[in-house]
C-alpha cells in the first residue's frame, strides 16, 4: 500500500508507510490517505470481534498496512489494545461506545498507542526523538502511547503551572523514555519552541526529531477500527442493523476515521457531527460554505477547533461530492449551558456520569432520535470540575488515575528560549 497527500490529485508522489508516518503532514501541506480503500469481509469482522478487539484489529490493520509483516503487525496490535472497550446501554434507545478505558482515559489512546508501537517498529535509523508541545491532554496521550517503546524518546513541552494536576501527573510520573519539560511560559511559547527546532537544520542534522500530532496517518487509521467493533456489539445486543453513529468532534480525525470504515464496507447508515459552539462543519453541512474561524473556548475544550485539519480528509473521502457527504453526515452544535444541562439530565434520569464531550454526543442523539450509538470520548473524572458543576457529584477517580496523583513527579524546568532547548536535545 502506498499513501498519497490529499492535495496530490494526480497521485504523482507516492509515499511508503514509514516516510508518510515520519513526515506527519505531507510536504505539500495535505494529509496522507491510503492509495485505495480496501474492502472488508464483514462476516470475518464479526467472527474476529466476537473473539476480542485485538483479533478484529489485527484483521483490519492487515488490510490497511499490507506491507508490514503480519507477525509484526499482530505484536503491535495486541500490545496496543490491552484495555477494555464497552458498548454501554444507558437506557432504551440510548447506547454509547465507551472509548475511555485506556491508560489516559480518553479515546486518543486508540490512535496514540498504535502509533507509538508502529513507529518503534518502522524506525531503523537509530534513536528517534518525538518532540511535542501540549496544553495538557495531547502530551499525556503521546507520552503513554510511546512509553517504553524501544529506540524512541519523547520530549514533551508543557507550560509549567498551567496544566491541571491530573494532566501534569500523567506526563511527569512515567519516567523511562519520557522526558517532560516544564516551560516557563505559556502554551504558545511551547509551540514556538517546537517549531523552531523543526526549522533548525543544524540541529536536525545531529538529532533525529519527528512529531506525533493527531493528523499523522498512524494515529488516524486505527481510529477506524472501533467503529467496526461498536457496530458488532450494537448489532449483537440489539438485533438491529445499520446504526447511525454520533461523533463528538473537534479536529474531525475521529469522524473521518468513521467515514473510512464506512467506505471499507461497514454497514452504518451515517454519522452525526456533534460539535460545541465551534460549528464550522455543521454550518458547512447546511450552507455548503466553509468559513474557518478562531476557536472559542467551551466546557468541552478538546473540541475547541475553529479550522479542523481533517476537513480535507472529509472531502477526500466523499470524492468531493458534497451532496453525498450531506446524505451521510448530519451536523449538530450546542452551547455550554446545554452541555451542563445534558450532563445533569443523564445523571438524574439514567444515573450515569458523563464528561462534557460525550454529553454533546448524547444531546445530538436525542436531537435526531438516533437509532444507533454515540461515542464517549473521555472519562467523566478527567473533567470532574464540569461534571461536578452540573450534577453536584464527584466523579469517582479510577484507581490508576488516583495512584498516579500520588506518584513522585519529575520534570526538567526550561526557559522559553530556543538555545536552552537546543542544548537539552543535544545532551539527551
Ligand atoms: C480530541 C478529543 C475530541 C475531538 O476529537 P477529534 O478527532 O479532534 O474530532 C473529543 N473529545 C475528547 C475528549 C478529545 O480528547
pLDDT in tens, the chain (428 residues): 999 999 999 999 999 999 999 988 899 999 999 999 999 999 999 999 999 999 999 999 999 999 999 999 999 999 999 999 999 999 999 999 999 999 999 999 999 999 999 999 999 878 999 999 988 778 899 999 999 999 999 999 999 998 888 889 999 999 999 999 999 999 889 989 998 998 899 999 999 999 888 899 999 999 999 999 999 999 999 999 999 999 999 999 999 999 999 999 999 999 999 999 999 999 999 999 999 999 899 999 999 999 999 999 999 999 999 999 999 999 999 999 999 999 999 999 999 999 999 999 999 999 999 999 999 999 999 999 999 999 999 888 999 889 998 999 999 999 999 999 999 999 99
Report residue 326 as a C-alpha cell. 450531506
Question: Who contacts 334 (Cβ-Cβ below 8 Å, separation ≥6)?
Answer: 275, 276, 277, 342, 360, 363, 364
Dist. CA 309 → ligand 1 center (Å): 13
Residue 292 placed within a domain = yes
Question: What domain range is 393 assigned to?
Answer: 85-102+220-397
Residue 151 placed within a domain = no
- When divided into structural domains, the chain yields a total of 1
Residue 65 placed within a domain = no
Q: Is any atom of ligand 1 closer than 6 Å to the C-beta of 254?
A: yes
Residue 342 placed within a domain = yes
In eight-state DSSP terms, residue 270 is E
Q: Is any atom of ligand 1 closer than 6 Å to the C-beta of 377?
A: yes
Distances (CA, A) of 311 to 84, 113, 155, 293, 376: 30, 24, 29, 13, 21
Helices assigned H by DSSP within 33-125: 42-51, 53-64, 70-80, 108-122
Q: Is any atom of ligand 1 closer than 6 Å to the C-beta of 357?
A: yes
Which of helix, strand or coil describes residue 245?
Answer: strand
CATH code assigned at 288: 3.40.50.1100
Dist. CA 111 → ligand 1 center (Å): 11
Dist. CA 256 → ligand 1 center (Å): 12
Q: Which of 103, 357, 359, 364 to mutate to test the pocket of ligand 1 (most atoms within 8 A of CB)?
A: 357
Catalytic residue among 2, 108, 235, 269: 108
Q: Check: CB of residue 246 under 8 Å from CB of residue 271.
A: yes
Residue ID of nearest Cα to ligand 1 atom 2: 302
Looking at residue 376, its pLDDT comes to 98
Using DSSP bridges, classify how beta strands 94-98 and 32-34 pair: parallel, antiparallel or unpaired.
unpaired
Dist. CA 76 → ligand 1 center (Å): 23
Residue 360 placed within a domain = yes
Compute how many other C-beta atoms are within 10 angstroms of the C-beta atom of residue 388: 15
Dist. CA 156 → ligand 1 center (Å): 20
Burial class (CB in 10 A: 0-12, 13-18, 19+), 366: middle
Q: Is any atom of ligand 1 closer than 6 Å to the C-beta of 114?
A: no
Which of helix, strand or coil describes residue 417?
Answer: coil
Residue 300 placed within a domain = yes
Q: Which residue has the cell 513507529?
A: 119
Dist. CA 71 → ligand 1 center (Å): 31
Residue 241 placed within a domain = yes
Active site residue 184: no
Q: Is any atom of ligand 1 closer than 6 Å to the C-beta of 220?
A: no
Residue 18 placed within a domain = no
Helices assigned H by DSSP within 11-41: 17-23
d(CA 425, CA 306): 33
Q: Which of 31, 97, 101, 107 to mutate to test the pocket of ligand 1 (most atoms within 8 A of CB)?
A: 107
Q: Is any atom of ligand 1 closer than 6 Å to the C-beta of 308?
A: no
Report residue 295 as a C-alpha cell. 476557536
Q: Check: CB of residue 68 under 8 Å from CB of residue 121.
A: yes
Amino acid at each position: 500500500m502506498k499513501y498519497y497527500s490529499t492535495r496530490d490529485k494526480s497521485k504523482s508522489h507516492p509515499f511508503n508507510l514509514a516516510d508518510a508516518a515520519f513526515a506527519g503532514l505531507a510536504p505539500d501541506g495535505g494529509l496522507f490517505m491510503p492509495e485505495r480503500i480496501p474492502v472488508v469481509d464483514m462476516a470475518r469482522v464479526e467472527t474476529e470481534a466476537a473473539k476480542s478487539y485485538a483479533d478484529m484489529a489485527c484483521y483490519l490493520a492487515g488490510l490497511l498496512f499490507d506491507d508490514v509483516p503480519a507477525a509484526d503487525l499482530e505484536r503491535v496490535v495486541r500490545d496496543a489494545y490491552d484495555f477494555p472497550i464497552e458498548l454501554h446501554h444507558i437506557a432504551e434507545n440510548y447506547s454509547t461506545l465507551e472509548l475511555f478505558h485506556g491508560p489516559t482515559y480518553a479515546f486518543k489512546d486508540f490512535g496514540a498507542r498504535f502509533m507509538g508501537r508502529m513507529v518503534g517498529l518502522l524506525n531503523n535509523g537509530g534513536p528517534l526523538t518525538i518532540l511535542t508541545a501540549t496544553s495538557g491532554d495531547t502530551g499525556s496521550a503521546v507520552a503513554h502511547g510511546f512509553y517504553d517503546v524501544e529506540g524512541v524518546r519523547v520530549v514533551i513541552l508543557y507550560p509549567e503551572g498551567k496544566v491541571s494536576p491530573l494532566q501534569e501527573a500523567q506526563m511527569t510520573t512515567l519516567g523511562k523514555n519520557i522526558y517532560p519539560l516544564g516551560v516557563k511560559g505559556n502554551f504558545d511559547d511551547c509551540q514556538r519552541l517546537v517549531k523552531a527546532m523543526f526549522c533548525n537544520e543544524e540541529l536536525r542534522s545531529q538529532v533525529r526529531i519527528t512529531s506525533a500530532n493527531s493528523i499523522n496517518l498512524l494515529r488516524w487509521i486505527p481510529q477506524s477500527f472501533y467503529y467496526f467493533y461498536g457496530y458488532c456489539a450494537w448489532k449483537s445486543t440489539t438485533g438491529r442493523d445499520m446504526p447511525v453513529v454520533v461523533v463528538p468532534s473537534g479536529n474531525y480525525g475521529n469522524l473521518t476515521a468513521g467515514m473510512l470504515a464506512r467506505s471499507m464496507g461497514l454497514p452504518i447508515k451515517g454519522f452525526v457531527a456533534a460539535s460545541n459552539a465551534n460549528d464550522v462543519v455543521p454550518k458547512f453541512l447546511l450552507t455548503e460554505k466553509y468559513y474557518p474561524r478562531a476557536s472559542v473556548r467551551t466546557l468541552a475544550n478538546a473540541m475547541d477547533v475553529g479550522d479542523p485539519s481533517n476537513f480535507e480528509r472529509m472531502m477526500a473521502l466523499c470524492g468531493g461530492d458534497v451532496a453525498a457527504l450531506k446524505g451521510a453526515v448530519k451536523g449538530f452544535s450546542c452551547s455550554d449551558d446545554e452541555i451542563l444541562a445534558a450532563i445533569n439530565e443523564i445523571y438524574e434520569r439514567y444515573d450515569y456520569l458523563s464528561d462534557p464531550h460525550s454529553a454533546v454526543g448524547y444531546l445530538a442523539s436525542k436531537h435526531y432520535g438516533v437509532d444507533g450509538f454515540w461515542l464517549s470520548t473521555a472519562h467523566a473524572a478527567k473533567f470532574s470540575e464540569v461534571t461536578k458543576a452540573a450534577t453536584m457529584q464527584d466523579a469517582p477517580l479510577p484507581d490508576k488515575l488516583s495512584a498516579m496523583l500520588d506518584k513522585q513527579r519529575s520534570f526538567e524546568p526550561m526557559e522559553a528560549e530556543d538555545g536552552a532547548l537546543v542544548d537539552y536535545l543535544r545532551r539527551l
